């Protein structure tokens, strides 16, 4: 059974690239266009990993993580930020909110798969 990954990004091209990359690596991918939709989809399903952008309309990735970590079912789900941001303070805030990892855009698809495999242990 393949791991289920929720990808959250307001950029259609990044969602497509991420979905194709992770699907080709054998993962089952569900997409959301912002943090609010990501939160709703996470609550409605069970995911092994969440890959999210930071800056998005409606709800940003940091707020989504803070809301997810309040829910017992999502306290232990690994969350990787995939963002253009590289500010050390933002990374620290993300880690404090419960982020597992951080990957800066533009990203190397092979590196994304490598990180996902490492985080999932498969």
Q: What is the pLDDT of residue 71?
A: 92
Q: pLDDT 10s per residue in the chain (122 long)? A: 799 999 999 999 999 999 999 999 999 999 999 999 999 999 999 999 999 999 999 999 999 999 999 999 998 999 999 999 888 998 999 899 889 989 999 989 999 999 999 999 86
For the chain, how many structural domains are there in total?
1
**By the 8 A CB rule, do 71 and 98 touch?**
no
Strand partners, 4: 28
Domain encompassing residue 43: 4-120
CATH number at residue 22: 3.40.50.2300
pTM: 0.93
User: Alpha helices, DSSP H only, in 11-101?
Assistant: 12-24, 35-44, 61-69, 88-97
Q: What is the pLDDT of residue 32?
A: 98
Q: What is the pLDDT of residue 86?
A: 87
């Amino acid at each position: 059974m393949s791991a289920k990954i929720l990808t959250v990004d307001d950029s259609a091209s990044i969602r497509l690239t991420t979905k194709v990359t992770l699907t080709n690596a054998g993962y089952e991918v569900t997409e959301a266009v912002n943090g609010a939709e990501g939160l709703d989809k996470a609550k409605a399903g069970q995911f092994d990993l969440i890959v999210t952008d930071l800056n998005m309309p409606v709800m940003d990735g940091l707020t989504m993580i803070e809301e997810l970590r309040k829910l017992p079912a999502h306290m232990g789900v690994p969350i990787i930020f995939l963002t253009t941001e590289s500010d050390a303070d933002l990374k620290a805030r993300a880690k404090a909110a419960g982020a597992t990892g951080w990957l800066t855009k533009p990203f190397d698809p092979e590196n994304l798969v490598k990180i996902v495999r490492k985080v999932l242990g498969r």
